[in-house]
Amino acid sequence: MPTRKNRRIDRAELRTRLRPSATFSREVIAEIQRAADTGIYDIRGFGAKRRVPCFDDLLFLGASMSRYPLEGYREKCGTGVTLGTRYASKPLELKIPVTIAGMSFGALSGPAKEALGRGATLAGTSTTTGDGGMTPEEREHSELLVYQLLPSRYGMNPDDLRRADAIEIVVGQGAKPGGGGMLLGQKISARVAGMRDLPEGIDQRSACRHPDWTGPDDLKIKIRELREITNWEKPIYIKIGAARTFYDTTLAVKAGADVVVLDGMQGGTAATQDVFIEHVGIPTLPALRQAVEALQEMDMHRKVQLVVSGGIRSGADVAKALAMGADAVSIGVAALIALGDNAPAFEDEYNALGSSAGYYDDWHEGRDPVGISTQDDDLAARFDPELGGRRLANYLNVLTLETQTLARANGKSHVHNLEPEDLVALTIEAAAMAGVPLAGTGWIPGRGTF
Amino acid sequence: MTQVFDLAANSTRELNQTLQRANGGSAIEQWRVVNPNGAHNLAVGLDAPSRVEIEGHVGYYCAGMNKYAHIVVHGNAGPGLAENMMSGLVRVTGSASQYAGATAHGGLLVIEGDASSRCGISMKGVDIVVQGAVGHMSAFMAQSGRLVVCGDAGEALGDSLYEARLYVRGNVAGLGADCVEKSMKDKHKREVEQLLAEAGISGVDGAEFRRFGSARELYNFKVDNAHAY
Ligand SMILES: Cc1cc2nc3c(=O)[nH]c(=O)nc-3n(C[C@H](O)[C@H](O)[C@H](O)COP(=O)(O)O)c2cc1C
């Protein structure tokens, strides 16, 4: 028998003996090594990867002695949403309370943008342009298209404004409230460069502030200008990253928004510094509560519609967001996954990029083997927009069915009838943030006396 | 025949609806707009080669997103004059406030007086001729097009500039990140003189201008440039 000293330790034993540091975890060590190697911060796509209090920390109570359920399959449970009822003469009528968030052509390939339009249209909802302008493909394949007005104003023009079904003024994004877009040289193809009026191949950093207004008083005038140009027809949304949400929502309403789009810190991005993604902004859960409180305080809840995004994955998330007071939700990363992003079938190619299916987040590099987050024609050609659209529609249908299931379980004949009283929280944090009682108690931390 | 539109008797909404009715039509309409009184959003979203003369001062975003129209303001203009203009001509006989010509894609913007800060911010192809001076951070992140300043330029001219070309005759208080002076060749002198002629400004010699453009050092992330980001 070998002595303790000279015996080789096998791997299994090693794992039981080595003690990882909580402070210097393996990810932290790897990041220090990466920083020392390269001298530049980590840029990546996807949303925050840390765990934050979220909709998983809430539960529905369901029906019981004091509440009537609805029959699961037969009894009607409405899912329609109207966005933009405040000033616009042509509000958007959506069949489902889930929309597709703004993702730029540039970050995504032309076929991927087309697929988002196809999927949204099949499911009866809207999709959104992004930093970089409107492509003819996405307009053609999107029954309802929201046109973003961003600080960069890439490709902005009055014809596309008039072609749009709604206009979304982007003030911020949950992944990087206060940060501008980023599109690295690998993805600035001739077409992207042309649409943005920039040289090919440069690392492009979009402005983080709007060029022609600075505060809510200016914005109010800006919104009127947009309405004047589009004949007061189109709903005007204001998109904010979750930060000082109560005040930001209040100011958005005062500036004249028809719809407030609120994006929590978990929200996805195509390319942002990791430090920004993980450390700026507040999670969707508390932000949503604050936005609803702001709307209620102004007597504008349901008059100015609220669309919430940032980490929406399932019908449970949708239903909980609606119960907390959102009118609809919006999805980014989940929609890309539905299209085929991070598919296990591409494991070998992900490995070749130093990643793995389920982990791939280097969307900024433009080498996406699935052909979604790329501007490389050969890679983009791998992606079938028709199939992608059908997959997205399937996923949207599942989200809707799940949302209806939960609504009926709580005895609601429309998903908008879900209410905070249907919810409880599993943790004290979530109870405080969402403003619903800790399960089994009447306690909402931060409200009333103990 | 010139028609008169009186803003003392009608609203901004009515003015824009009236002017936008020409959108897509072929006949050239001529309008005189009186009593603007500093109102915002006048003559926005035009999409036809109409001629519009506004007799007095205007507020924010006058001539915003203009296509084809020739719009002349006989007075001063508030912030965001001709923002995102696509084509046509916008002229103010007085001075313009902040962000004149912001993000504009085309056409010609002429400011006979001075322009305030951020003139030509993120410009994307427009030509801007300012007879007086421009304020700080003019041509910030300017992407393309030409800015001609007959007077002085304020601090941080052309900060984070892309491919726009800047010409200044007077003093430049300072250049922004990645903006450098470039040599003024004959073709640049001719370019300036042609723009001045288009703007109807005479008696100014193209040879008196200095040219500024991007050093293109910040086009790609480089660790060595970290101080500039
Ligand atoms: C690939 C990608 C590109 C994006 N591009 C934009 C954009 O151009 N403009 C914008 O406002 N938000 C952009 N976003 C953010 C989304 O609109 C949305 O706020 C976010 O994805 C929602 O969070 P979720 O991904 O967890 O659903 C982008 C997100 C992704 C994943």
Write out pLDDT tens, residues B88-139.
Answer: 999 999 999 999 999 999 999 999 999 999 999 999 999 999 999 999 999 9
Please give the distance, rounded to the nearest whole angstrom, from the Cα atom of residue B128 to the centre of ligand 1.
35
Query: Looking at residue A186, what is its pLDDT?
Result: 87
Residues A41 and A52 in one domain: no
- For the stretch A247-252, contacts whose Cβ atoms lie closer than 8 Å and that sit 24 or more positions apart, written own/partner, are A247/A294, A248/A171, A249/A290, A249/A291, A249/A294, A249/A295, A249/A306, A250/A294, A250/A297, A250/A298, A251/A216, A252/A171, A252/A216, A252/A304
Query: Looking at residue B36, what is its pLDDT?
Result: 98
CA distances from A218 to A210, A423, B63 (A): 11, 39, 16
Q: How far apart are CA A169 and CA B148, in angstroms?
A: 31
Please give the distance, rounded to the nearest whole angstrom, from the Cα atom of residue A268 to the centre of ligand 1.
5
Q: Has residue A180 been placed in a domain?
A: yes
CB nearest A221 (choices: B60, B84, B141): B60
Q: Is the ipTM of this complex over 0.90?
A: yes
Residues A239 and A150 in one domain: yes
Residue B55's SS3 state is strand
* Averaged pLDDT, B132-149: 98
Q: Do B13 and A213 touch (CB under 8 A)?
A: no
Higher per-residue pLDDT: B157 or A16? B157
- What pairing do the DSSP bridges indicate for beta strands B108-111 and B144-149? unpaired
Q: How far apart are CA A220 and CA A253, in angstroms?
A: 10
Task: Answer whether residue B169 shows pLDDT above 60.
Answer: yes
Q: Do A197 and B144 touch (CB under 8 A)?
A: yes
Residues A15 and A122 in one domain: no
Q: Residue A151, CB half-sphere, CA atoms under 13 Å: how many?
A: 21
DSSP class of B170: S
Q: CB contact, 8 Å: A202 with chain B? A: yes
Q: Do B44 and A231 touch (CB under 8 A)?
A: no
- How many domains, in total, are found in chain B? 1
Q: Which residues contact A434 (CB under 8 A, 6 or more apart)?
A: A57, A58, A285, A286, A288, A289, A324, A420, A423, A425
Residue nearest to atom 1 of ligand 1 (CA): A270
Q: CB contact, 8 Å: A28 with chain B? A: no
- The runs of H, that is alpha helices, within A230-267 are 245-254
Which chain B residues are closer than 8 Å to A40 by Cβ?
221, 223, 226
Q: Has residue A142 been placed in a domain?
A: yes
CB nearest A39 (choices: B103, B125, B223): B223
CB nearest B67 (choices: A158, A212, A221): A158
Please give the distance, rounded to the nearest whole angstrom, from the Cα atom of residue A332 to the centre of ligand 1.
5
Residues A57 and A16 in one domain: no
Would the pTM count as exceeding 0.90?
Answer: yes
Residue B166 structure tokens: 């800047």
Q: Find, among B104, B153, B110, the residue nearest to B128 by Cα.
A: B110
Q: How far apart are CA A174 and CA A46, in angstroms?
A: 12
Q: Do A228 and B12 touch (CB under 8 A)?
A: yes
- What pairing do the DSSP bridges indicate for beta strands B165-168 and B210-214? antiparallel
Q: CB contact, 8 Å: A207 with chain B? A: yes
Q: Do B61 and A222 touch (CB under 8 A)?
A: yes
Q: Has residue A261 been placed in a domain?
A: yes
> Ligand 1: which of A127, A128, A269, A314 to mutate, most ligand atoms within 8 Å of CB?
A269
Q: Do A153 and B124 touch (CB under 8 A)?
A: yes
CA distances from B73 to A237, A418, B15, B93, B201 (A): 31, 54, 15, 6, 16
Which chain B residues are closer than 8 Å to A229 by Cβ?
16, 44-45, 64-65
- Stretches where chain A sits below pLDDT 70 are 1-7, 448-450
Task: Answer whether residue B178 shows pLDDT above 60.
Answer: yes
Q: Do B102 and A211 touch (CB under 8 A)?
A: yes
Range of the domain at B185: 2-228
CB nearest A40 (choices: B84, B103, B221): B221
What pLDDT band is residue B227 in, cutting at 50, 70 and 90?
low
CA distance A158 to chain B (A): 6
Q: CB contact, 8 Å: A139 with chain B? A: no
User: Is the Cβ–Cβ distance between A385 and A118 less than 8 Å?
Assistant: yes
What CATH code is carried by the domain that includes residue A69?
Answer: 3.20.20.70
Residues A255 and A161 in one domain: yes
- How many domains, in total, are found in chain A? 2
Residues A37 and A52 in one domain: no
Residue in chain A nearest B63 by alpha carbon: A225
Burial of B80 (0-12, 13-18, 19+ CB in 10 A): buried
Q: Which amino acid is it at A108?
A: L
Residue A402 structure tokens: 């799940």
Which chain A residues are closer than 8 Å to B103 by Cβ?
153, 156, 211-212
CA distance B228 to chain A (A): 13
Residues A31 and A162 in one domain: no
Range of the domain at A180: 47-434
**Proportion of chain B above pLDDT 90, given as a percent:** 91
Ligand 1 closest atom vs CA A46: 31
Which chain B residues are closer than 8 Å to A228 by Cβ?
12-13, 16, 41, 44-45
Burial of A167 (0-12, 13-18, 19+ CB in 10 A): buried
Q: Has residue A5 been placed in a domain?
A: no
Q: Do B219 and A184 touch (CB under 8 A)?
A: no
CA distance A202 to chain B (A): 5
Q: Find, among A120, A144, A75, A86, the residue nearest to A417 by Cα.
A: A75
Q: Do A211 and B41 touch (CB under 8 A)?
A: no
CB nearest B41 (choices: A152, A224, A230): A224
Please give the distance, rounded to the nearest whole angstrom, from the Cα atom of residue B5 to the centre of ligand 1.
45
What CATH code is carried by the domain that includes residue B211?
Answer: 2.160.20.60
Ligand 1 closest atom vs CA A104: 8
Q: Which residues have CB under 6 Å of ligand 1?
A: A 45, 47, 101-104, 107-108, 130-131, 148, 170, 173-174, 181, 239, 263, 266-270, 309-312, 331-334, 363
Please give the distance, rounded to the nearest whole angstrom, from the Cα atom of residue A107 to the centre of ligand 1.
10
